[in-house]
Chains A and B, each alone.
Chain A
Amino acid sequence: QSVLTQPPSVSAAPGQKVTISCSGSSSNIGNDDVSWYQQLPGTAPKLLIYENNKRPSGIPDRFSGSKSGTSATLDITGLQTGDEADYYCGTWDISLSGCVFGTGTKVTVL
C-alpha cells in the first residue's frame, strides 16, 4: 500500500507542460529528500530526479523537481512522445523504517 499520493494520470499536448504532485507526511517527505523515477513500458524504473531537485547526468533539464513541506512536484516541460511513461516519487519513511513510493502517475502525450 503506497504511502505517497500521486494523481493517477496527467496529459498534455506535445511541447506543453505537465506537473505531477506527490503528497506525503511529516514522517516521509517532511523528513527526507524526494526522488523521482520514470518507468517506460516494459522496462525497469530509471532515476529522474534525486535529492528533491537534482538531475543525474544525461537527464534533460526539461525535467525538474521541487519540494515544500510534505509535498513534492515533478515538472516536465516541452513534452515529447517519448515521455509517455509511469512516474513515481519515492523517499524514506522514518516511522516505517523503510522506503516508500508514490502511487504512480501515467503521463499521456495527446
Chain B
Amino acid sequence: EVQLVESGGDLVKPGGSLRLSCAASGFTFGSHSMHWVRQAPGKGLEWVSSMDSSGRHIYYADSVRGRFTTSRDNAKNSLSLQMNSLRAEDTAVYYCARTVGSGTYFDYWGQGALVTVSS
C-alpha cells in the first residue's frame, strides 16, 4: 500500500525556519517525481515545488522561490522541504504527493502537515 506521511509541522514566528519531511512507503520511491502542494486555511490548492526522481530537476512556485528548498534521499525514501524566511502567508497545510512517469497528475497524497506562521 502506498503511503506518504508528512511530519514537522509546527507554529513558527515570522522570519523563522522549519523543515518538513515526507516518509514514503509501499512503492519504489526513487522511480517517482515528488511534489509539495499547500492549502491555506479555507483556501484552494497551491503547488509549491516539484522534484524529479533523480533530484536533478527542481521547480518552485514564484511565491517560495529563494526561500524554500526541496530535497530527497532515495536511499531513505524521504522527501524534505526546508522553509526559511517564513511569512504569515505561508501558513497552510502542506501535502506531499507523487506523480507517475511523465504524467502531471498526483495519484497519491499524504495526510498533510500544518505550518502556522504567527508571532
Contacts and interface: CB of A to CB of B under 8 A. Distances in A.
B46 interface: yes
B103 interface: yes
Is the contact region of chain A dominated by helix, strand, or loop, or is it mixed?
A: strand
Contacts of B45: 37, 39, 45, 88, 90, 101, 104
Size bracket, chain B contacts? 20 to 34
A44 B97 CA distance: 10
Interface residues of A, number: 27
B105 A45 contact: no
Interface of B: 35, 37, 44-47, 50, 59-62, 95, 103-112
Given A32-B104, A45-B106, A103-B44, 20 more contacts: A33-B103, A33-B104, A35-B105, A35-B106, A37-B106, A44-B95, A44-B109, A44-B110, A44-B111, A45-B45, A45-B109, A47-B106, A50-B107, A56-B107, A90-B45, A90-B104, A91-B104, A98-B61, A99-B37, A104-B44
